[in-house]
Structure 1
Amino acid sequence: MGTRYPRPLPESARTGYKTTIQSAIGETPFKLVYGAEALIPVEVGTTSLRAELYDASKNNNKRLADLDLIDEEREIAIIKQLAMKQFIQKRHNKKVNPRTFEEGELVLRKTEEARKPQIHGKLAANWEGPF
C-alpha cells in the first residue's frame, strides 16, 4: 500500500485564505507577513476604488510607514490571539466537571493502539474493562 498525500489546495483557495481576516487575530495572514493588504486577482482585472486612487509617490511613503509599524501589528496580533485562547479556555473550563478518583476504584481506560491485537483489525475493542 502506498502512502496517500493530501492534494495541494488550488491557488484560488490559498489566496482566499491569505486575504481573509482571521477571527482570532483580526488581521489577514498576508498583512502580517508583508505589512500590506493583498490585492486579490478579481481586483486586478476590474477597476476598483483602490486602483483608481493609486498614486505612486503616496504609495511609497505609506509603504515605508507600514513597514515601520509591522512589528507592532504582529505583537498586537499575538496579544489578540492569546486573549482569544484564554477566552475559549475559560468558556470550556466552565463546562468541565472535575472528578477525583480514589485508589481501587474501577474506571474505563482507553485501549492503547499498541495493545490491540492486530488480528481483530478495525473490529477490536476501543475500551477495556467492565462494560
Structure 2
Amino acid sequence: MILDALKKRIFDKNEKFTGKWIRELPYVVWSLRTQPSKALAGNTPFFMVYGSEAVLPADLQFGAPRLAFKNIAEAEATRIEEIDLLKEEHLNSVIQSAHYQQTLCRYHDRNMRPRCFSIGELVLRRVLKTTGQHKLSPP
C-alpha cells in the first residue's frame, strides 16, 4: 500500500523521481494511518492505537469544535469516556475483522479454479526481464 501511494505521488514522466520518495514517505504513512479502514469497522489505525482521532494541522489552525474545551475537568471527563469507548471499538473491530476475512475467503474460493499438476507435466512459465526496472517497479 505504501509503495502504491508513493508511486501515485511521485511519478512524473518528464521528471526523475530519485530521492523524492524520502520526502513524500511521511505524508503517505500519515494518510494511511488516518484513513478509515473497512477491516477496522470504519475506524482509523490511529484511533485503534491511541484511542482518539488524530488532530490535523487544519483543525488546529481553524479551531475545530472538537478541540475546544472550557475547562480541564471537561477535557478529562471526555478523555475517560474515550478510553471506555476504545475498549468497545477494539471488540467491534475484532468481530468486523473476522467477518471481513471470511468474506474475502469466500470471494477468493468462489473465483479460484482448482488446478492439479502431476510430475512430468509441462507448464508455461513467464520469465520477466529485469532490465530498466527500479525499486518501485512491480515484481
Q: Structure 1 75/109 Cα, relative in aligned 2: closer, same or farther at 3 Å?
A: farther
Superposition TM-score, scaled by structure 2 size: 0.60
Q: How many pairs are equivalent?
A: 110
TM-score for the superposition, normalised by structure 1:
0.63
Bigger relative CO (Cα 8 Å, ≥ 6 apart): 2
Displacement over 4 Å in runs of 4+:
52-55
* Corresponding residue for residue 56 of structure 1: 72
Which protein is bigger by CA-based radius of gyration? 1
Query: Counterparts of 1:33-48 in structure 2 under 5 Å?
Result: 33-48=49-64
**Structure 2 portions without partners, runs of 5+:** 1-20, 132-139
After TM superposition, the structure 1 stretch with the greater mean CA deviation from structure 2, 72-81 or 47-56, is: 47-56
Change (3 A) 1:64 1:106: same
1:1-131 mapped onto 2 (5 Å cutoff): 7=22, 9-25=24-40, 26-52=42-68, 55-101=71-117, 103=118, 106-108=121-123, 110=125, 122=130
Aligned with 1:7: secondary structure?
A: helix
Q: Distance in 2 between matches of 1:107 and 1:77?
A: 46
Give unmatched runs, 5+ long, in structure 1. Answer: 1-5, 112-120, 124-131
Amino acid at match of 1:62: T
Q: 1:96 to 1:12 in 2, by over 3 A?
A: closer
CA-based RMSD of the aligned residues comes to: 3.1
Shift of 1:35: 0.8
Q: Tell me which amino acid in the other structure corresponds to 1:61.
A: A
